[in-house]
Structure 1
Amino acid sequence: MTSAQPLLLGLILLWTAYTKLKSPTQADRTALPRLVGEPRAVLAYQAVAVVEILIALLLLGSWAIGAVAAVALSIGFVGFLSYSKVVVPEASCGCAGKSHRPVGTRAIARALLLLATSVSATFATTAWWSAGTGLLLLVVEAAVFAMLSTELDRYWLLPIRRLRIRLSHPLAGTASDHIPLVATQRRVLLSPAYRAVDGLLRSDIHDYWDDDGWRFVSYAARYDGRRATAVFAVPHRDLTPESVRVALVDDDGLTVYRPTVLATT
């Protein structure tokens, strides 16, 4: 099992290095400007990417020094993310691509998992291409890394949330027609429903769909300190602002808030 770890580490580091080099200005959203100074933040960000590539090549070439270097790099990641969370709490991770989310427990957990994997790789006694069935375990490990990577949420987590909302919709029974999204958005912004939850919204429109004479649009939101999704139901035929309805649902698709007055309209 340990012999297969360098392959996983090498691929992860190549991925994170690519995203850093592709979007170097992401450095401005991290804690690097505070740590090394704003003029040097992008350069430091790119330098980390180059180091990641070099360590990845050592790992993929089954050089033992690669695993040791990966341990040192992982310790640096854990330290940097901890510093970010404490000193610059609004800073994003910048670990693997564009992200506006502040450093959270998932980012730190991913760095710790990377550290554990790096330590495991130092015990490898054979090259990764000789690991045999041990390579199958990498699929599970890669899935765990993906689940801890907020940068990949749009590929798996958001589709699951949308499916949950559609299967157990908080406004079921209450969108198709070729109505421009901007027209729907204007109706939402002018509605009492929007004013009722405006302070809870954290994004622009994330998704929309039509069903049985209604158009549903969703926004990212927070309610009672938890992440949620605000779903607006906009009827095609009734153009009055009061006809728009709204409900907030959690990650499991359960309704956590629905304005009482609006619910009875």
Structure 2
Amino acid sequence: MVAVEWLASTQHVVVGVVLLWASGFKLLHRNASATARRSVLAKLVGTERVVRAYRAVGVVEAVVALLLLAPPAYPAEAYAAAVLSAAMLAYLAYGKWKAPDSSCGCLGEKHTPVRGRGFARAGLLLVTSAFAATATGAPDRPFATLGVVLVELGVVVALSPELDHRWLLPLRRWRVRVRHPLATTRAVEVPVESTVRQLWKSTAYQSVVEQLTSDLLDHWDEGEWRLLAYAARTPSGPATAVFAVPRLAYEPDRVRVALVPEEEVALV
């Protein structure tokens, strides 16, 4: 029973850190406004009001986070976090129904449509918030508390697709370098199909895939690079996406992309 009470007392810290992280992104990140316009919230409140609504959510999250992290711990703080988590579940359900291609906009700027991991993360926060409401005091084992907090935050990160570029993609690149049969190949001509598959694994492709409107239109080789052309549409109008992919090696992290509009070249 004592262990359960101690574990409940650590949940204030876990939920508080997650909410502080979420609010910090919404209120301080330089790309927060652009993220808001791509999020489900834009569908919910309209593009004209979405940035103000996004900031308002960030303020509410910040207030609840600071209350959770500042001693003493009160059940009302945890209940407020539980209400936010339940609202997030409803928000994600609305997004899945009305705007399945929009992103959550919760913890990062990467465009990631609403999927099961987002629901699992919100559900986890709801459970931990409800558990925190049963706490009767502050955690008294600093090192054990730190370990629990780090493990649970790791689970939150694993359930956050908008953070995959921080840990999952580097891990996959490392595994490809170690295990892929072409990882050390320098003198073998790679077929176009393999180049396209390498392109799909790259961060450059993932960053503009939502803007592509065609399959592969053309390709040509220039030295160690193979250039692949796709039709695209940007906010300023039609464009051509030209990807530079290593031709003689499997190195997705070296792929680069340029969007070529009608009158100028924009490098991204």
Does the alignment reach a TM-score above 0.5? Answer: yes
Q: 2:195, 2:247 within 8 Å by CA — same for their partners in 1?
A: no
Q: Paired residues, what number?
A: 208
Q: Alpha-carbon deviation of 1:165?
A: 0.5
Offset at residue 235 of structure 1 (A): 10
Q: Paired residue for 2:13?
A: 7
Change (3 A) 1:120 1:135: farther
Contact 1:93–1:99, Cα closer than 8 Å, also in 2: no
Could you tell me whether the CA contact under 8 Å between 1:93 and 1:102 is conserved in 2?
yes
Relative distance call for 1:237 and 1:161 in structure 2 (3 A) is closer
Identity of aligned residues (%): 41
Structure 2 Cα separation of the partners of residues 113 and 150 of structure 1: 15
Please list the CA deviations of residues 224-243 of structure 1 after superposition, one character each: whole Å capped at 9, or x if unmatched.
xxxxxxxxxx996799x9x9
Q: Does structure 1 residue 83 correspond to structure 2 residue 80?
A: no
Deviation string 1:26-60 (CA, Å, 9 cap, x unpaired) is 11111212211221111111110000011011111
The alpha-carbon distance between structure 1 residues 202 and 35, as it changes in their structure 2 partners (threshold 3 A), is: farther
Note if contact 2:121-2:160 (Cα within 8 Å) is conserved in structure 1: yes
Residue number in structure 2 paired with 1:26 = 35
Supply the AA of the counterpart residue of 2:45.
V
Unpaired segments ≥5 residues, structure 2: 1-6, 210-220, 229-245, 253-268
- Work out whether 1:41 is the aligned partner of 2:50: yes
Structure-2 residue corresponding to 1:52: 61
Q: Which amino acid aligns with 1:31?
A: V
- Aligned match of 1:124: 135
Q: Is 1:193–1:245's contact at 8 Å kept on the other side of the alignment?
A: no
- Partner of residue 147, structure 1: 158
Secondary structure, aligned partner of 2:203: strand
Is residue 201–residue 220 contact of structure 1 (8 Å, CA) maintained in 2? Answer: no
Provide the residue aligned with 2:179 in structure 1.
168
TM-score (norm 1): 0.67
Cα distance change on mapping 1:195 and 1:162 into 2, 3 Å: closer
Q: Which amino acid aligns with 1:59?
A: L
Q: How does 1:1-265 map to 2 (within 5 A)?
A: 1-21=7-27, 22=29, 23-61=32-70, 62-128=73-139, 130-132=140-142, 133-172=144-183, 174=185, 193=192, 197=196, 205-206=202-203, 244=247
Q: Which residue of 2 aligns with 1:181?
A: none
Distance 2:124 2:87 in 1: 13
Instruction: Give 3-state SS (helix, strand or coil) of 1:39's partner.
Output: coil
- 1:123 counterpart SS class: coil
Report if aligned partners of 2:176, 2:183 keep a CA contact under 8 Å in 1. no
Amino acid at match of 1:27: A
Distance 2:104 2:69 in 1: 26
RMSD: 3.5
Give the Å deviation of 1:170. 3.4
Contact 1:4 1:131 in 2 (8 A): no
Q: Deviations over 1:39-91 (max 9, x none)?
A: 11111111100000110111112233110100000000011011101110010
Pick which of 62-71 and 87-96 moved more. 62-71
Rounded to whole Å, the distance in 2 between the matches of 1:237 and 1:89 is 39
Give the counterpart letter for 1:193 in structure 2.
V
Please, what TM-score do these two structures have when normalized by structure 2? 0.67
